[in-house]
Homo-oligomer: A and B are copies of this chain.
Amino acid sequence: MPTVLCNCLALRQAARRVTQHYDHVLAPSGLKTTQFSVLAMLRRYQPISLGALAEHLVMDRATLGHNLRPLQKAGWVSLGAGADRRQRVLTLTDAGAALLTDTAHLWRAAQDGFEAWFGAADAAALRTDLAVIAHMKPSEGFISMPALE
């Protein structure tokens, strides 16, 4: 088993492999894993601003903005105006909600397939570790810009 020393490379490699698996299983729905994640998170928190949803997704605001483009074009997501006229409030359209419901069993299959191989308990423990990493803050000691400049 080849292991790499770099924590970042190890994470990216694993993410690539697992994304391939989920993408394959989700393919019949026409959704990619990232898109499914956006829609699922949106369903949970709608109505919500672009920035707030990006935080939930641990994603750059601009990235989410770009990723929403195909979802709007497909008619799954609606961008309305919020009370604050700077904000754009996101909601799931009926078509988006229906698609999410229809795709749930595919996600379940991908999730079950992975956990059957890796172990459900191991997967849960791993997710906990990953959540800690995903939500770390520089103020907690994680140094993004060390004394190198």
Contact = CB atoms under 8 A, between A and B. Distances in A.
A33 B11 CA distance: 12
Top 7 closest pairs, chain A to chain B, by CB = A13-B134, A13-B58, A14-B130, A15-B15, A10-B130, A14-B133, A3-B131
Given A10-B127, A14-B11, A132 B56 contact: no
A143 B28 contact: no
A129 B131 contact: no
A116 B145 contact: no
B2 A127 contact: no
Q: This chain: how many copies in the complex? A: 2
A4 B143 contact: no
A8 B28 contact: no
A56 B18 contact: no
A118 to B, nearest CB: 7
B4 A131 contact: yes
Given A16-B58, A117-B140, A146-B109, A8 B22 contact: yes
Nearest to A20: B144
A142 B25 CA distance: 12
A134 B8 contact: no
Contact of A134 (B6, B17, B113, B130): B17
Interface in A70-101: none
